[in-house]
Amino acid sequence: MRKYGNGKFKLTPQRIAILDYLDGNRSHPSAEDIYKSVLKRFPTMSFATVYNTLDALRKSGDILELTIDPEKKRFDPDTKLHHHLICIKCKSIVDIHRKFSLNITSKEVGGFEIVGNHIEFYGICPKCRKQS
C-alpha cells in the first residue's frame, strides 16, 4: 500500500481500514461510501472517525476533496493532476489522465495568481445511454 500521511499520522486499525479502502480506489467515494465499507470490519466505526481521517489526509495532501457532486463531497486518493468525466444521469465519475493546454492570458485572469485548474467533462455514460 502506498504511503499516507506526512510524518505525524498515527496509524490506527481504523485508519488502516480507511486507507485500504481508498488505496487505488477509482470510484470517487463519498464519506458515507467509506463509512459503510469500513463498518464491515469495524462495527464500532464512527462517522466522525471517517471525517477526521479524511480531513487529516486532505491536509497532508494525500487525497483530494471533490466538489463535483452537489449532494455531497467525494474523495479521490489520486492526487496527480487529472480531470474528470461525469455522467449527468448516474453521477458516476471517471478520470481523464491527460494534460490540456489552457493558455490563459494575464489580461483574462484580472490580477489573479493562477495555481491550478480542473476540467469537468459532462456526458452520459454507456450504461445510462442504453437505458434511455
Partner DNA sequence: TTATCATATTAGAATAATTCTTGTCAAGTA
Partner DNA sequence: TACTTGACAAGAATTATTCTAATATGATAA
Nearest-angstrom CA–CA distance, 104 and 75? 28
Nearest-angstrom CA–CA distance, 85 and 74? 14
- Site for DNA, rule CB under 7 A: 8-15, 30-32, 42, 44-49, 51-53, 55-56, 71-73
Q: Does the protein bind a second copy through residue 48 (CB under 8 A)?
A: no
Nearer to DNA, 15 or 28 (CB): 15
Nearer to a second copy, 28 or 45 (CB): 28
CB of 57 to DNA, least distance (A): 11
Long-range CB contacts for residues 60-67, cutoff 8 Å, separation at least 24: 60/4, 60/5, 60/6, 60/9, 61/6, 62/4, 62/5, 62/6, 63/22, 66/28, 66/93
Number of residues that bind a second copy (CB under 8 A): 35
CB of 111 to a second copy, least distance (A): 4
